[in-house]
Structure 1
Amino acid sequence: METSLSIPGNLPGKTRNRAPMALSGQDFKLLKVFKAVVEAGGFSAAQNELNVGLAAISKQISDLEIRIGMRLCSRGREGFSLTDEGQVVYQASIELFNSVDNFRDRISCAQNELIGDLSIGVIDNTIFDPNSLLISALRLIADEAPKVRMRLSVSQLDEVERGVVEGRFVAGIVPVYQRREEFDYFEMYQEQSILYCGVGHELFDRADEEIDPEVLKEYNFVNHRYAIHSAKREFFDHDNLSTLATQVEAVAILILTGRFIGFLPCQFADRLVKDGRLRAIRPDVVNIQTAFCLILRHNTPRSPLIKAFADAMKIDLKREA
């Protein structure tokens, strides 16, 4: 869907004397639509989030482009993509709405009331983690602060981290394999992962006492892309790490073929073990521990809503991990 600014030659000329943009209520509305479209990945995908039709979204983005005087995105048969100017406006809109939220949080705190958006990013299969207090924490927030709008996203590790850095998520709950200076870390618990094989693998019916950990280096291993544990090198040669999986479920699927071995979190694998589809291999010596942390963007103010969420998760924000 082309707009007048999408057509070459229709862009207004840039001038050094252009007056600073004064934001109106309508501008805020248009920027919210633009932000939603970007985060959904396109016009069509944003319809459910915005609860409006495709034509209305297209007109609003066109209105914003005309208002700002820049082409913000390309859309059409080639798909949706941001222009360089659109990327700048998107990042600025994140910072703008974060500032508005901070203002609102401070006012609501003075009124002894929690409002605003609680946008949390978590990794896949969090629902099966018995150590996680996320569900009970969200229940408590919903009961005690009904005006809070919850935004929960399940994503890959790098996407959760990127969302926290960009401000799309106010917090993330992730396994920590290596620390980054962009975040403050608050450890919640340690997750144990064990080595598994599936039905059909030659180790499946072999007793643990018959399996020498050194022998494991002879087998094809599923490398979990984000689980960068130096301890893995104790059990596997680099040449055996050619099979790659991105998320926990993908690792499990490959193990279930009976052709690979790999590490899985115990709480995820337990139900497959009970079904007789997986078995643990030498859990007494072949296991790794991973810290699960709440991550917040480094050196950013802790809003009353974040503090309430941390309290519900039983996390002391004064004590970094």
Structure 2
Amino acid sequence: MAKLEFDERDLRSLRVFCHAAQAGGFAAAEKNLPMSKASISRHVQKVEARLGVRLCERGPGGFKLTAEGMVALDLASTALRALERIRPEMDAAHGVLSGSLTIGIGEHTLTHPECRLPEALERLKQRAPAVRPEIVVFSFVELNRALHDQRVDVAIRGHYEDDSHFNYLPIYRERHGVYVSGRVSGRKESASLPLVYRPHPYVEQALASGAFSRGPEAGGLDAIGALVASGDYQGILPTHYGELLGKRFDLRLQRHSPSYEHAGCVVTLASRPVSRRLQLMLDILRELHPSLDAGRAARAA
């Protein structure tokens, strides 16, 4: 059987294919790549020709990966990430930390008074000036997917339930509750309002209890806040964020609201080796948030 060897031009085409597949199409990838849709298409066609399979369906029906395309995306993404780690790891072997460090955070993470990510980034810059931090904002579901796909090195999000795929470092406590507009007069009236829906463990838990009816879907905390402020809905918000909105829009915790509490955590993928630059960031975060991690160790002992 003949060997299938890739040269530098093939690697570039593989990168373009991965960008297009992860973006969900040529038009979406065009916004992030310095090339036209026609050029992106040529690169994908070249990869298909080299592999001898069709990787994606494109046309009036939209963009969709074939079964072969999904396998190719997984393998190519893993290979390209490994290539990108060579230089940083070689630098680390010589005592120099470099390369990018991608941090995924949930929306409004910085509004939590105990989140000290900016100070952590400052210390990272002082200790490893050649490391380039990159920050992306995702929903809870998207953060998990980005960790599994290794599109982020680390995430900061709530720890709602144990998942053996991840390692957790707690850095603060967070509480959620059900908010209503202050213009809603009575408890009985507020309790009958539909609950704004978003894909989130606490919303699912509240709806499963049977105490709430499902309302319109919202894409984030700002959207929930806007719907609740209208006076026609109730919604689950982190209490520190609800208090911020409440100052402007008169949002209030519903009387006898259920309370949901968890640790806000630094989350990493358990199966992924920790690079030296990521280990430095984790050490810095432990320095800045020592109490919860120490408490967890004491409970484990």
Which of the residues 236, 253, 260 maps onto 2:233? 260
Flag the 1:73–1:230 CA change in 2: closer, same or farther, 3 A: closer
Structure 1: how far apart are the matches of 2:46 and 2:57? 15
What is the aligned-residue identity percentage? 26
TM-score, length of structure 1 as denominator length: 0.78
What residue identity is the alignment partner of 2:116? L
Structure 2: how far apart are the matches of 1:20 and 1:130? 57
Quick check: which one's helix share is greater? 2
Alignment-derived partner of residue 267 in structure 2:
295
Aligned 1:46-65 pairs, distance under 5 A: 46-65=29-48
2:26 matched to 1:38?
Answer: no
Cα distance, 1:117 vs structure 2:
2.8
Flag the 1:77–1:312 CA change in 2: closer, same or farther, 3 A: farther
What is the CA deviation profile of residues 213-271 of structure 1, one whole-angstrom value per residue up to 9, with x for unaligned ones? x99755543355313379858xx951523225453233222211212233311232223
Which stretches in structure 1 are left out of the alignment for 5+ residues? 1-16, 204-210
Cα distance, 1:298 vs structure 2:
1.4
- Find the structure with the greater CA-based Rg: 1
Cα distance, 1:187 vs structure 2:
1.3
Given that 1:231 and 1:288 are in contact with CA atoms closer than 8 Å, whether structure 2 keeps it comes out as: no
Tell me the secondary structure at the aligned position of residue 295 of structure 1: strand
Cα distance, 1:169 vs structure 2:
1.8
Alignment-derived partner of residue 195 in structure 2:
221
Aligned 1:43-122 pairs, distance under 5 A: 43-122=26-105
Cα distance, 1:148 vs structure 2:
3.4
Alignment-derived partner of residue 170 in structure 1:
153
Flag the 1:148–1:78 CA change in 2: closer, same or farther, 3 A: farther
Given that 2:173 and 2:262 are in contact with CA atoms closer than 8 Å, whether structure 1 keeps it comes out as: yes
Given that 2:197 and 2:203 are in contact with CA atoms closer than 8 Å, whether structure 1 keeps it comes out as: no
2:213 matched to 1:241?
Answer: yes
Flag the 1:135–1:79 CA change in 2: closer, same or farther, 3 A: farther
Flag the 1:222–1:58 CA change in 2: closer, same or farther, 3 A: closer
2:248 matched to 1:275?
Answer: yes
Structure 2: how far apart are the matches of 1:70 and 1:173? 39
Flag the 1:113–1:58 CA change in 2: closer, same or farther, 3 A: same
Cα distance, 1:303 vs structure 2:
0.4
Structure 1: how far apart are the matches of 2:171 and 2:214? 32
What residue identity is the alignment partner of 1:266? T
2:138 matched to 1:155?
Answer: yes
Which of the residues 20, 27, 52 maps onto 2:3? 20
Alignment-derived partner of residue 285 in structure 2:
313
Flag the 1:202–1:177 CA change in 2: closer, same or farther, 3 A: same
Could you say what the CA RMSD is over the residues aligned between the two structures, in angstroms?
3.1
What residue identity is the alignment partner of 2:56? C
Structure 2: how far apart are the matches of 1:41 and 1:141? 34
Structure 2: how far apart are the matches of 1:44 and 1:299? 34
What is the CA deviation profile of residues 268-315 of structure 1, one whole-angstrom value per residue up to 9, with x for unaligned ones? 2223211243123348x7533122112111132110121122233336
Tell me the secondary structure at the aligned position of residue 45 of structure 1: helix
Which stretches in structure 2 are left out of the alignment for 5+ residues? none
Structure 1 range deviating more: 221-230 or 29-38? 221-230
Tell me the secondary structure at the aligned position of residue 178 of structure 1: coil
Alignment-derived partner of residue 29 in structure 1:
12
Tell me the secondary structure at the aligned position of residue 49 of structure 1: coil
Structure 1: how far apart are the matches of 2:154 and 2:54? 32
Structure 1: how far apart are the matches of 2:123 and 2:237? 30
Given that 2:195 and 2:212 are in contact with CA atoms closer than 8 Å, whether structure 1 keeps it comes out as: yes
Flag the 1:228–1:199 CA change in 2: closer, same or farther, 3 A: closer
Tell me the secondary structure at the aligned position of residue 35 of structure 2: coil
Tell me the secondary structure at the aligned position of residue 131 of structure 1: coil
